Every structure is written in structure tokens, then in C-alpha cells.
Amino acid sequence: MNITVIVLLVLGLVLLVVGAEALVRGASRLAAIIGISPLIIGLTIVAYGTSAPEMAVSVQSSLAGQADISLGNVVGSNIFNVLFILGVSALITPLAVSRQLIRLDVPIMIGTSILLLLLGFDGKISRLDGVLLFIGGVSYTAFLIYQSRKEKSNMTEDEFAQEYGNSGRMSAQQWLLNGALIVVGLALLVLGSRWLVDGAVTIAQAAGISELVIGLTIIAAGTSLPEVATSVIASMRGERDIAVGNVVGSNIFNILVVLGLSSMIAPDGIQVSAAALRFDIPVMIAVAIACLPIFFTGCIITRREGALFLGYYVAYTVYLILDSTQHETLPIFSGALMLFVIPITTITLALLTLRSLRARRS
């Protein structure tokens, strides 16, 4: 390892921050003239744009016949998106959650996660499965845009008029400027994430960390760094709909479009390992389901809930490392999670949900 690796890490981080700021600013302002709400912008343009690294890695892995990387990248990124990104964003500032997310988008995220498990029961995501997933992604995107245009209201226009000092109208120059911000932002995000992942993988290999752990953690987290930067910047700028919508939209996009397209172009589809069916995909489903009660209680992700998300991501990462190295403390750690941490958290979330339901009825 040399100084070049450190430079790659630093430059990658800088590009991510600059790219995320440009993307959020351009996307938010374009929403004013298109008539699409910030939530839909977060669920589509921003979410799909920041998932470009996952797309690049998964497609390249599929063409190279590296199914574990392609599937692990999507599953690991989805777990990282919810637990780490929403955790960090909520610690910065509590995140308001749109009712549309609770009623529609989070259930779709849960449904697509379960669908992935069902499609993988035969040991692979075939090309036909990929076509089904990809069509679902296109249909979901078209529905969101249609609904947003249909439900366009004066509230959306007033929101942008207050923030940007206009009434939803921009000159041709402003159109080009904000479009350029989105394009430049996406380019910087992709380049920055690539440099950051390359540097992190080099450091991990030099430290003797196995390729399995690198794929499940560093690559998955690295390709999700655009989402990290975008959601954190959006939460700091007060664009909370974009911060949360970015994560939910990215997770749906990763399964339907990224994995769908990857399995379509793979020579024999994407093989799904028994380990992924037994552990990683169920964890992804559990994380998606956990969003519902947390989002539902007060429609706000509090700092306490953000800390809970982060704690679970740390536990998940520790488990992967202990499991891959077959460390002697693995049974103790697994037992503690299964017997104490997970049941206590489940009971707490259930009680919070019941309390919220009773409060709304009264």
C-alpha cells in the first residue's frame, strides 16, 4: 500500500460530497418546474442516480460470471442503505417520513425483497426472472411520475417558491444550469465512489481481510456511498423527503432494475448461493420490514431510532467478520443477538406501534 491509495480515498470522498451537493441542488430545483414533489424526485431521479455504482458493479460482475459479487452487492447495499444511511441521517437531524412512503413505497420495498427470496429458491435469478424484475422497475417509476403529476398542487409550488424565490418557472438558462448540476453530480458520484472503493479494497487486502468480507461490506458499502453523501447533504439542507426517499427508492431500484438487468445480461442468469438464501436475503427482508413500525410511529425517524439502526449495522458487520473467519466468539455473539437483542427490539417496536395506533384512534 502506498500514498496513491490514500490520495484515492481522500479524492473519492471529496468528489462524493461535491457530487451529492450538486445532485440534490439540481434535482430539487428542477422539481419546481416539472411539478414533481421532492419525495418523488428522491424516489426516482436522485435514488436511481446514486444507484449508478451498484448498477456498474453488478452488470460488470454478471458479465464476468461473478454472481456472488453481483447479488451480494445489491443485498449488502440495501442493508447498508437502511441501517447506516438512515441511521446517520437521523442522528444529524430527525427525519420526517411522508405518509406515501408508509402507505406505498416501504410496502413495495418489502414486497420486492420477499420477491427476490422467492425467485432465488431454485438457486438462481434466471433471465426470465430478470425481465420480470426490470418490467416491475419501469412500471413503478412510471406510476410514481404519473401520480405526482396528477396530484400536483399549490402546496408543491409554494414550497419551492419559498425556498428558491420563484413560482415554479425558470428560464432556459436555469433549465440548463440545473440539468448540468444533475449530470455533473452523478458523474462525480460515480467517479468518487469508484476511487473510494478501489482504495478501500486495496487497504483491506493489505490487512489480510478475506474477499468474502470485502464483497459483503466494503464493496456494498462503497457503492452505496453516493446514497450516504446525498442523504446526509439532503438532511442538512432540510430536504428530508429526498433524504428518506433516496434510500427507499434506491433499495427498490437495486432489486428491480439493477438485479433485473444484471440477470438479463448474464450468460446463465445469476446464481443464488445457499448462504445468501439462508442469511443475507432474510436479513435484508427483516431490515425492510423494520422500517414500517419505525416510520409509522409519529412519521419521524428520531435520533434514538437512528442510533438503533446504526447499532444493528455494526452488529451485522461484526457477524460477517466473525463468520468468515470462523472466530471462536461467533456462537456467543450469535446467541446474544438471537436471545436478547433481536427479541427486545421486536417487542419495543411492537409496543411503540400499538401506542401510536391507540393515540391516532383516540
Average pLDDT over residues 299-315: 84
The 10s digit of each residue's pLDDT in 69-95 is: 778 888 988 999 899 988 888 888 887
- Domain presence at residue 333: no
Q: How many residues does the chain have?
A: 362
pLDDT given for residue 251 in this prediction: 92
Range of the domain at 14: 3-327
pLDDT given for residue 212 in this prediction: 56
Q: Indicate the helix (H) or strand (E) that contains 240.
A: helix 240-253
Q: What share of the chain has pLDDT > 70, as a percent?
A: 76
Identity at 329, one-letter amino acid code: T
- Domain presence at residue 33: yes
- Domain presence at residue 240: yes
Q: What share of the chain has pLDDT > 90, as a percent?
A: 10
Q: Give the start-end residues of each E strand in the chain.
A: 95-96, 124-125, 270-271, 300-301
- Domain presence at residue 341: no
The 10s digit of each residue's pLDDT in 188-213 is: 877 877 787 777 677 777 766 665 56
Three cell numbers at 143?
406510476
pLDDT given for residue 291 in this prediction: 83
The CA dihedral of 338, 340, 345, 350, to the nearest 10 degrees, is: 90
What are the residues whose beta carbons fall under 8 Å from the beta carbon of 266, sequence distance 6 or more?
A: 62, 63, 65, 67, 70, 127, 130
- Domain presence at residue 202: yes
Rounded to whole angstroms, what are the CA distances from 87 to 28, 38, 44? 23, 21, 21
Question: How many domains does the chain fold into?
Answer: 1
pLDDT given for residue 163 in this prediction: 47
Distance, in Å, from the CA atom of 156 to the CA atom of 162, rounded to the nearest integer, reads 10
Distance, in Å, from the CA atom of 24 to the CA atom of 271, rounded to the nearest integer, reads 36
The 10s digit of each residue's pLDDT in 238-280 is: 766 677 877 888 899 899 998 998 898 887 888 888 878 888 8
Average pLDDT over residues 304-322: 85
CB atoms within 10 A of CB 158: 12
The model's pTM: 0.77
Share the mean pLDDT of the chain: 77
CB atoms within 10 A of CB 121: 9
Average pLDDT over residues 309-336: 80
Residue 229 has pLDDT above 90, yes or no: no
- Domain presence at residue 272: yes
- Domain presence at residue 340: no
Question: 127-150 and 240-253 helices cross at what angle (nearest 10)?
Answer: 150
CATH number at residue 161: 1.20.1420.30
- Domain presence at residue 347: no
